[in-house]
């Protein structure tokens, strides 16, 4: 799956994102609103990851979905 598909159906994927990154709140996921960079930023902030680590986690998550 590519990010364009995720972005277009973000509300459907928020549950899967919440399952993957449980520290992210519903409000934070709503703020992301399908924006990959915003999601990476939230992951960085909540999990103390580097930008590269956050991007890799998103890539791995995309491969699963």
Give the separation between CA 52 and CA 11, rounded to whole angstroms.
25
Domain ranges of the chain: 3-64
- pTM (predicted TM-score): 0.90
Q: What is the pLDDT of residue 1?
A: 76
Superfamily (CATH H level) for 3-64:
YjbJ (1.10.1470.10)
pLDDT tens by residue, 5-53: 898 899 899 999 999 999 999 999 999 999 999 999 999 999 999 999 9
Question: The dihedral of CA 34, 16, 30, 56: what is its sign?
Answer: negative
Distances (CA, A) of 41 to 2, 53: 19, 11
């Amino acid at each position: 799956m590519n990010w364009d598909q995720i972005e277009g159906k973000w509300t459907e994927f928020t549950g899967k994102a919440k399952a993957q990154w449980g520290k992210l709140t519903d409000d934070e996921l709503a703020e992301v609103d399908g924006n990959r960079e915003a999601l990476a930023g939230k992951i960085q902030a909540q999990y103390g990851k580097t930008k590269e680590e956050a991007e890799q986690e998103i890539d791995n998550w995309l491969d699963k979905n």
